[in-house]
A and B are shown apart, each in its own frame.
Chain A
Amino acid sequence: MSAPCSPFPAGAFSRRTLLVAAAAGTAALAAGCTNGAAQDPADAVTPAQADRLAAQVGVQEQLVADYAQALAAAPQLATSAAVLAAQARQQLDRLRSAAAQPAPSSGATAGTSAADAVPADGAAAWLQARVNAAADAHARACPDFTGGRAALLGSIAAGLRAQAGQLA
């Protein structure tokens, strides 16, 4: 009994079908998300979008601050959530690039008010609520944008929703 050379003679699973969009779009997505409106005139940001994008930068700045607060208050989180905090910072950097906003000087990041202080007990749940709130905010804002900015906000929203699941 002979076997066929390949049980799956058709299609181009790994690269063509799954990633053709990436092949066509990766450069545009990356550029659109890192260079603001410089790439495509049709994707130029409007003043209203610029304000909205600045608001999303603020949301992410607050989340990065929340991570710092939570990790400082609950050392056990420092191990499990450090990578999540790093990803949140990466997201902030890319959002700032898309918004053409420079990173603030040291110490000028958002803080957490005393009323929102991390509870001694339940830091993970507190942080999870913050991450979910940020994901909600980005997901709501995403459809207001077009092009690479919509892709970036949608991607960050999805990434944060997955982060929240890890904090459960």
Chain B
Amino acid sequence: MPDGTSGTTAATGPDAAAPEDAALQEALAAAYTAIWGYGVVGAAVPAESRPAVVTAEQAHRDVRDELLELLSGRDVQPVAAEAAYDLPFPVLSGVDAAALAVTLEDGAATAWTWVLDQAAERSTRELAVVALTATELRAVVWRAQAGRTPVTSAFPGLPEV
């Protein structure tokens, strides 16, 4: 059973790109998780929020596709999506769903800051800063719907010190 890190061993060879590829695998795993998770979010949010869910899910699908192409182009076997995932908490209301969306986006933000930390290629860092910004912009919307304050974060994807 994959545990969310399987497949990363394909990127842990002695070459210098291995840490970057491993971080990209984590970003890919986060994208898979978000795509799955937004299915849960979409079933629980009010109708007026569903367009935002569709847009967010598509954004993660686009990121997934970009990462699959990038990793395959490097002859790295991309990690596979899990068949299903455990929810971190019950999603019983629109507020729960928004909180789940925050978790999904924050998870993606963590993965992308790790890519920034690990990337050897400038082009990868360019990709990462764009993806990180996009995920934080979505997170702000969901934090508001989840009733979180503040809705912004000083350091998206990084631990608060």
Contacts and interface: CB of A to CB of B under 8 A. Distances in A.
A155 B125 CA distance: 12
A163 B152 contact: yes
A32 B152 CA distance: 23
Nearest to B81: A11
Nearest to B125: A143
A11 B117 contact: no
A13 B86 contact: yes
Interface residues of B, number: 58
Chain A interface main SS type: helix
B97 to A, nearest CB: 15
Given A10-B85, A11-B86, A19-B110, A152 B158 contact: yes
B78 interface: no
Interface residues of A, number: 56
A114 B115 CA distance: 41
A150 B3 contact: no
A152 B88 CA distance: 27
Contact of B110 (A6, A10, A18): A18
A12 B4 contact: yes
B133 interface: yes
B84 interface: yes
Interface stretch (B22-30, B41-49, B50-58, B66-74): B22-30
B132 A154 contact: yes
B140 A165 contact: yes
Contacts of A8: 84-87
Nearest to B123: A143
Contacts of B107: 17-19
Chain B interface main SS type: helix
A157 B107 CA distance: 18
Contacts of A124: none
A33 B158 contact: yes
B33 A13 contact: yes
Interface in B7-34: 23, 26, 29-30, 32-33
A90 interface: yes
B137 A159 contact: no
A147 B117 CA distance: 4
Contacts of A99: none
B116 A25 contact: no
A84 interface: yes
A28 interface: yes
B114 interface: yes
A130 interface: no
Given A16-B5, A21-B110, A83-B150, 4 more contacts: A7-B84, A8-B84, A91-B154, A146-B125
> What 4 A-B pairs have minimum CB-CB distances, sorted nearest first?
A18-B107, A17-B4, A14-B88, A13-B85
14 contacts: A6-B86, A11-B83, A14-B86, A20-B26, A21-B26, A144-B122, A151-B113, A151-B117, A154-B125, A155-B116, A155-B156, A159-B155, A162-B137, A162-B140
